[in-house]
Every structure is written in structure tokens, then in C-alpha cells.
Amino acid sequence: MNQPVNITEPKRKLQVRSAAELTTSQSLVESLQSGRYQGYTYSYPHKTAYRWFDDPLPLRQLWEHQSLQSSFLYAHVPFCEMRCGFCNLFTTTDQSSDREERYLIGIERQAKAVRSALPAAPTITSGAVGGGTPTILSAKNLQRLFSMLTSTFDVDLTKVPFSIETSPETVNADKVGVLDANHAYRISIGIQSWSATELRAMGRPQNVQVAHAAVDLLRNSAVHKLNIDLIYGVEGQTVETMKRNIAETLQHQPDEVFLYPLYVRPLTGLGRNTRRVWDDDRLAQYRAGRDALLEAGFRQVSMRRFEKPERGELDASFAAAVDNLYECQRDPMIGLGPGARSYTSSVHYSSDWAVGRDGVGSIIDSFAEASDEYHAAAHYGAVLSRDDQQRRFILQGLLHETGLDFAAYRKQFGSDPMSDFAQLGALVEHGFSATTRQDLTDVMRLSPEGLEFSDAIGPWLYAPEVVEHMSDFVIR
């Protein structure tokens, strides 16, 4: 079972810049010539740099030297009611042959196997149920998933903030009842656009009235934090329609908004039919969206994330956990379900990854049938060298409002980030850092211009070996 499943689909290599684009101020300029929209760094190393390990790595060993005192629990639900034209996430619309039931039995088995393979009981301090679209599960199965997670990992959801993703057509009063009963702290709904024409252009079959009703339902629920996802850069979209999308979003009083630049990716509906690149449009629409949100009192947390100040008081420990909720990127992360990643400080692992229908289907089916012994080891992923860990630390800080914290870096690695990665100086020279050279002793934060270049600065900081692995990845 630790071999990739056989797939007969056409294979395509990912287009990634060559490993020769390295680490000097000059190379930043060269790198930017490949455009602003090179890649979203939501994880480092990227999942396309993962490979099968020569031998399975037992979880007991992997987790032995990790502090499990503050762990993030993630459960992936790999099902959707539709396959959107832009989306390359690990998900399928094919739920034939009892796939949902077999998946639930599989994730229950995996959770128990993982819990007993860990060297100690983890303390879960925050978590997320993501997808795909978790609310495609029936209300009963959604409750079953929450009950399984909380009982297996001893989580009290009145104290531990959990986030969940949803889509307009899969949410209803019964399911919101389940989310309320489980004290879901944050709910994130994908809207993408309030225009039927734009939804059609991005290949998302969504009814605008249903979308408004779904957001109303969530806003009237007990959830603390409501997030709305929008996409910009879609064919036919303009600065004017972007402003309209933001205005309609604000009518629903969200606490958070994510603005995603459209990426057209291999093996997606748009990827098969579209050749156009929309960099200028994306930039103008980003600026319009950002400015409208800032004006409405939102704070910019990263290139994509805008947040309203917390309503009401939160208990301090809860507030700290909440801070970590959105970028499910921190170590350690215990991931469950096919498509979920798990992170220790030196090894990231997951199931195999695919985009095409057959590839995703066979991975879900293999997962449903996997033995306890299989789940007690990592089979596919990336081993992070010290250099990878340092780059990951830098990327996580730099692309976020917190910035790259020099003292925290020194404490973790015993060296100085500016000596380890002298090329960071190029960010100051090109006006991408809000921190000047003289002040570069505490923290480095991106300037507004730097933030606009997040999707180029991220890939510029990837290790050449990681870039090489990513470009060799054959997507199926």
C-alpha cells in the first residue's frame, strides 16, 4: 500500500521556475520578472515537493521529540457537491459505492490508530475541519465526525476554537444546528463572487440567491467568526465589479474576508480551456478590494486575509489559540483523512495527492481500506533539513502581519536570519520591507508593495532542491 496507485490519466508536469533562480538581490529582480502570481505559499515545502519515503517512518518515532502540549488537529473531508473550474484541491464529487460511509469508517479507524501511535496524549489547542466541503456530510454524519474527533483526542469544544469550511449549497438549518451545538468558533464560506456571470466564468455552478440566504443563516448562528472567500482576476471581472463584490460581502457583516487571486491550474476545468494570464487585472482588482476593506475597518493580516477586530472579549488563552486558527500551518499539526497533511518540526507527511477524478477516487478508496498498521506510519511527505526549517520559519513570519521575528529565529536556530539568508536584504533595497536596514534587528515586515508581491517573494525563498522537486512533480 505504500506505493502510488496506478493511474492511466494524462500526466502533466507543473510549471515551476528553475532551481537556478537563487538568492541574491539580482535574483530577486530576475525572479519578479516571472510575474507576481507565481505561487501561494500556504505551506512550505509545497505538497508537490512530497515524495514516497523509501521506508515507512513510524509515527511513534516521528513524534517522540515533539512537544504535544499545543497541537493543531485537522480533519479533511474530500467531498464536494460540484467540482469548480478553478479548484485543484483534494476533493471529489463522486460519492458512489458508499464512499462517504467508507470514508467515515476509515477516518475513525485512522484517528484511533494515530492516537495510539503517538508517544503521549496530545493537547489539542485549536483545530479545523476543511475540504473539500465538510458540510456536504449529512447533519448526522457531521455530528459523528465532531464526536469522533472530540472523544478520540479529548477535546472540549467550549474551550478549544475550531474552524470549519462550508459552501452555500451544502449548508442548511440542521447542519448549522450541529455547528452551533459543537461551538464552532469560525465558519468559512466560499462565495467567490456575487455575480452570476463571474461565477459562470470561473466554472462554479452557484445560485446567487442561495448564497445570500446561506450567509444570512450563518450570520444568525452562534458562530464567533464568519469568513467569506472571494476570488478576483476572473475573465470579465473589473475593478468596478470587484468593488460591488466587496460591497455585497460587507452587507453580510463578515468578521473576516479572504481575497484570492485566481490561479489557473493544471487538470482543472479552467486549466484545460484557458491560456490567458491576467496579472494586470488581478493587481488592479486586488488594490480595489484591499482599499475597500481597509476603509471598512478591516486590518490586513496577509496578502489574502483581512480581519475585523474581535467582537466582545475573549478569554486570553482562547484568544492565543484563535490566533493560530486560520493558517493551519503551525507545528505540530495532526492531520486526519486523505488529503490532510501532518507536520512535525522535521517531517511533513500526508496521503498521496491528485486532482483528476480517478486519482482522487483511488486515494480515498485506498485510505478507507488501510490497516491500523498502515496509519501508524508516515509513507509520503518531505523530510525538512535545517535549511528548510529556517526557510519555513522566515516564510511564515514574513508573509504575515507578524513579520519575521529575529529574536524568535535566533532562539530556535542559534543564528541570525540576515547572516543565514543575506538575500533578505534585497527586500529592503527594493522597497518590499517596511523595516529599514538600521531597524533590522527585531522584526522584518513587508511593506504594502511587498505584500502585493507575496506570491513572488514566497517562491523566491524556496530552497533550490524544493523548487526542483516541485517542477519534477507529475500531477494526475
Residues in contact with ligand SF4 by the rule CB under 6 A: 80, 82-84, 87, 89, 91, 131-133, 167, 190
User: Does 92 contact ligand SAM by CB under 6 A?
Assistant: no
Q: Which is nearer to ligand SAM, 262 or 451 (CB)?
A: 262
Spatial neighbors of 182 by CB under 8 A, at least 6 apart, are 143, 146, 150, 157, 162
Q: What are the two backbone dihedrals, phi and then psi, of residue 379, each rounded to the nearest 5 degrees?
A: -115, -25
Instruction: Provide the 3-class DSSP secondary structure of residue 42.
Output: coil
Q: Which is nearer to ligand SAM, 328 or 378 (CB)?
A: 328
Number of residues that bind ligand SAM (CB under 6 A): 16
User: Does 167 contact ligand SAM by CB under 6 A?
Assistant: yes
User: Does 457 contact ligand SAM by CB under 6 A?
Assistant: no
Judged by beta carbon distances under 5 to 8 A according to partner kind, the member of ligand SF4, ligand SAM, none in contact with residue 265 is ligand SAM
- Taking the C-alpha atoms of residue 460 and residue 434, their distance in angstroms, rounded to an integer, is 18
Q: Which is nearer to ligand SAM, 45 or 190 (CB)?
A: 190
Site for ligand SAM in 357-396 (CB under 6 A): none
Judged by beta carbon distances under 5 to 8 A according to partner kind, the member of ligand SF4, ligand SAM, none in contact with residue 339 is none
User: Does 211 contact ligand SAM by CB under 6 A?
Assistant: no
**Piece in contact with ligand SAM (CB under 6 A), picked from 64-72, 84-92, 137-145, 371-379:** 84-92
> Site map for ligand SAM, 267-306, x if CB under 6 A?
----------------------------------------
Q: Which is nearer to ligand SAM, 35 or 56 (CB)?
A: 35
Q: Which is nearer to ligand SF4, 125 or 166 (CB)?
A: 166
- Taking the C-alpha atoms of residue 434 and residue 446, their distance in angstroms, rounded to an integer, is 5
Cis peptide before 261 (omega within 30 of 0): no
Judged by beta carbon distances under 5 to 8 A according to partner kind, the member of ligand SF4, ligand SAM, none in contact with residue 83 is ligand SF4
Identify the CA nearest to 257 among candidates 220, 284, 296, 221: 296
Contact between residue 398 and residue 446 where contact means Cβ atoms under 8 Å apart: yes
DSSP string, 203-272: T----HHHHHHHHHHHHTSS-SEEEEEEEE--TT--HHHHHHHHHHHHHT--SEEEEEEP---TTSHHHH
Judged by beta carbon distances under 5 to 8 A according to partner kind, the member of ligand SAM, ligand SF4, none in contact with residue 62 is none
Instruction: Provide the 3-class DSSP secondary structure of residue 473.
Output: coil
Judged by beta carbon distances under 5 to 8 A according to partner kind, the member of ligand SAM, ligand SF4, none in contact with residue 183 is none
Identify the CA nearest to 62 among candidates 274, 317, 379: 379
Torsion sign, CA atoms 406, 412, 418, 421: negative
Identify the CA nearest to 62 among candidates 342, 386, 372: 342
Q: Rule CB under 6 A: choose which of 260, 374, 413, 421 binds ligand SAM.
A: 260
The distance of closest approach from Cβ of residue 95 to ligand SAM in the complex, given in angstroms and rounded to an integer, is 15
- Residue environment code for 132-145, b if the CB has 16+ CB neighbours within 10 A, otherwise e: bbbbbbebebbbbb
Work out whether strand 162-166 and strand 186-192 pair parallel, antiparallel, or are unpaired: parallel
Residue 233: all three cell numbers together: 482576476
- Residue environment code for 335-345, b if the CB has 16+ CB neighbours within 10 A, otherwise e: bbbbbbbbbbe
- CA end-to-end span of the chain, whole Å? 18
Torsion sign, CA atoms 14, 20, 22, 24: negative
Judged by beta carbon distances under 5 to 8 A according to partner kind, the member of ligand SF4, ligand SAM, none in contact with residue 169 is none
> Site map for ligand SAM, 133-162, x if CB under 6 A?
x-----------------------------
Judged by beta carbon distances under 5 to 8 A according to partner kind, the member of ligand SF4, ligand SAM, none in contact with residue 231 is ligand SAM
The residue number with the shortest CB distance to ligand SAM is 190
Judged by beta carbon distances under 5 to 8 A according to partner kind, the member of ligand SF4, ligand SAM, none in contact with residue 229 is ligand SAM
Q: Rule CB under 6 A: choose which of 263, 349, 462, 473 binds ligand SAM.
A: 263
> Site map for ligand SAM, 231-250, x if CB under 6 A?
x-------------------
Cα-based distances in Å from 210 to 1, 38, 80, 216, 237: 42, 34, 16, 10, 21
User: Does 265 contact ligand SAM by CB under 6 A?
Assistant: yes
Residues in the site for ligand SAM, rule: CB under 6 A? Answer: 80, 86-87, 89, 131, 133, 165, 167, 190, 192, 229, 231, 260, 262-263, 265
